[in-house]
Structure 1
Amino acid sequence: MPYITTPDGTEIYYTELGEGRPVIFSHGWPLSSDAWQKELKLFADAGYRAIAHDRRGHGRSARTYRGNDMDTYVADLASLAEQLDLQDILLVGHSTGGGEVVRYAATRGAGRVSKVATAGAVPPIMLQSAANPEGTPLEVFDGIRAGVLNDRSQFYKDLAETFFGFNHQPEKRSQGLVDDFQRQGMMAGLNAAYDCVKVFSETDFTKDLEALDVPILIAHGDDDQIVPIAAAAEKAITLVSQGTLKVYEGASHGIWGDYQVALDDDILAFFAE
């Protein structure tokens, strides 16, 4: 299996398909590059070199005790791009991965990154505060941490119901998606999964969005129960200089079904512009 080794000695797994202009996919919590398997094929078939990595502590990457923070995640992504000698990069990030690619493009990607696309992304900031009343209360994230710590196997199964919106669309429920969400979640080290809750909920990406100097497609489902659109995409679009907001009616946080088909088509069209 292909790995790169970061400057601090951490092994980061990645997978790739195809040849051509590079597209890097960054996954959400608590998943892995496996979440992008369909996109890897679709984008490779469309003539791109499609690459997805497992964030440190997740999937097949090394389970580290330290370094589970956004700046280190971004440094790992930078190491991947540098070691694979990638240029003219197109970035795609979902949820936590959306924050990762935005910060990388804004702080480490000058001269390498051409466009960014995010879906259900966490920027600007998820946590509720006086300055961000639309955000999610701290107690919700404390509950996620408790679920991960005490019975993560069952917690991931339960979380999948709202992640994919099956509680709102029970007739479309897929046991396979639930099982795969749990499988990928269990691949993540407990320590990394626990620490990452703070990362995706409390990291402030406001300055990153303001500094972004490449075009960005901000995609979001209007029935996203994990990262509500009012605190995320609707705010993020006001902070970027070259942004396009695309809202998907009835779409959940998880990328699947008709939403996945439409999103993939829209990202391919955006990258081809």
Structure 2
Amino acid sequence: MDKQLPPASAGMVVRRDVLAAGALVAVAATLPIAPYSNAASTPGDRTMGKITTKDGTEIFYKDWGAKTAQPIVFHHGWPLTADDWDNQMMFFLGQGFRVIAHDRRGHGRSTQTDSGNEMDTYAADVAALADHLDLRNAVHVGHSTGGGEVAHYVARARPGRVAKAVLIGAVPPIMLKTAVNPGGLPMEVFDGFRTALVANRAQFFLDVPTGPFYGFNRPDAKVSQGLIQNWWRQGMMGGAKAHYDCIKAFSETDFTEDLKKIDVPVLIMHGEDDQIVPIADSAHLAIKLVRKGTLKTYPGLPHGMASTHPDVINADLLAFIKG
């Protein structure tokens, strides 16, 4: 049985807590309040913030580290957020880099847009962020849909903005099965995504990470309930309409010409047991299209390998960036 406080002691505890809280309020009242203004901000002057794009969309971003250090920009997958890169952000911050990650429009803490949820606008949003933060000689790292965003942006980036690019479990060249891409996934797969999202997004966003995303449906998988719940948390932060539209963006966009245009070194990393973006119709084709490409594949690793095996992925990323 739990020991009960006598009435007098209980009263002392309550009075002590009230006094402590009052003292904190009094101290807080003497502290200066810093005004917040996107328009007045100096590029890179805070660790988190938002920019407003030409169509009025607010894009949330994190910006950590010395502003004089080489920047690494992380682009998340569908339907996640900048938080999916927590491990990589902490690792590369510790290595002395400036690390940046944003929530794509319609995702996370950015505006839940009902328009502009396609690759041209995604890339334009990245360009606006790069301009705002004055990013130069940056390394852009994209996972899954974020890999498509990287390809689309880097192919259009102004000279001097990008030093290298990394595509991890990325969707390029194109996911959808077409006459010129017979190895792609049939439209029925993506229609199934849309149907599941509309019917019960919350359940769908549990089923994906519990099963194929992290390979937790494999018999020898070491399941992390934390990863599953964090995937669900990030997904449910975004807007259903934007997530719905983004399925078309990541599945039907043809990045072939983007890959051909990229003239900086590109590292393509892909799990050989990727059940979301099968390697045969993505990385194995993409490496043939880039001019300065390196392909590194990982036997047995899943789509979300940057989260399930961060030590392996971080080491290879670091070697490529420093190489």
Q: Do the two structures share a fold, i.e. TM-score over 0.5?
A: yes
Match of 2:252 in 1: 202
Q: Is the CA contact 2:79–2:235 (under 8 Å) kept in the aligned structure 1?
A: yes
Match of 2:234 among 162, 176, 184: 184
Do structure 1's residue 154 and structure 2's residue 190 form an aligned pair? no
Match of 2:168 among 119, 131, 140: 119
Match of 2:141 among 92, 105, 115: 92
Q: Is the CA contact 1:157–1:178 (under 8 Å) kept in the aligned structure 2?
A: yes
Q: Is the CA contact 1:248–1:259 (under 8 Å) kept in the aligned structure 2?
A: no
Match of 2:60 among 13, 22, 31: 13
String of CA shifts for 1:171-217, please: whole Å, max 9, x gaps: 40111111111111111100000000000000000000001100000
Match of 1:253 in 2: 303
Match of 1:227 in 2: 277
Q: Is the CA contact 2:144–2:170 (under 8 Å) kept in the aligned structure 1?
A: yes
Judge which range, 87-96 or 162-171, deviates more. 162-171
Match of 2:76 among 9, 18, 27: 27
Q: 2: distance between equivalents of 1:169 and 1:116?
A: 34
Residue correspondence of structure 1 range 47-196 to structure 2 within 5 A: 47-160=96-209, 161-196=211-246
Match of 1:263 among 313, 317, 320: 313
| 1:171 to 1:87, Cα distance in 2 relative to 1, 3 A | closer
String of CA shifts for 1:30-72, please: whole Å, max 9, x gaps: 0000000111111111011000000000000011111001000
| 1:269 to 1:256, Cα distance in 2 relative to 1, 3 A | closer
* CA-CA distance at 1:260 after TM superposition: 2.1
Aligned-residue CA RMSD in angstroms?
A: 1.1
Q: Considering only CA atoms, is the larger Rg found in Structure 1 or Structure 2?
A: 2
Q: Is the CA contact 2:139–2:321 (under 8 Å) kept in the aligned structure 1?
A: yes
Q: 2: distance between equivalents of 1:29 and 1:167?
A: 20
String of CA shifts for 1:135-172, please: whole Å, max 9, x gaps: 11100000000111110100111111100001114540
Q: Is the CA contact 1:16–1:40 (under 8 Å) kept in the aligned structure 2?
A: no
| 1:169 to 1:107, Cα distance in 2 relative to 1, 3 A | farther
Q: 1: distance between equivalents of 2:248 and 2:93?
A: 34
Partner amino acid for 2:132?
Q
Judge which range, 208-217 or 256-265, deviates more. 256-265
> How many residues are treated as equivalent by the alignment?
273
* CA-CA distance at 1:109 after TM superposition: 4.0
Structure 1 SS opposite 2:99: strand
Structure 1 SS opposite 2:155: helix
Q: 2: distance between equivalents of 1:258 and 1:249?
A: 14
Q: Is the CA contact 2:81–2:107 (under 8 Å) kept in the aligned structure 1?
A: yes
TM-score (normalised: structure 1): 0.97
Q: Which runs of 5+ in 2 are unaligned?
A: 1-47
| 1:131 to 1:236, Cα distance in 2 relative to 1, 3 A | same
Partner amino acid for 1:107?
R
Do structure 1's residue 42 and structure 2's residue 72 form an aligned pair? no
Partner amino acid for 1:267?
L
String of CA shifts for 1:82-129, please: whole Å, max 9, x gaps: 001111111000000001111111112432101001100000000011
Partner amino acid for 1:71?
D
Q: Which runs of 5+ in 1 are unaligned?
A: none
Q: 2: distance between equivalents of 1:30 and 1:153?
A: 12
Q: 1: distance between equivalents of 2:310 and 2:317?
A: 10
Structure 2 SS opposite 1:163: coil
Partner amino acid for 2:248?
K
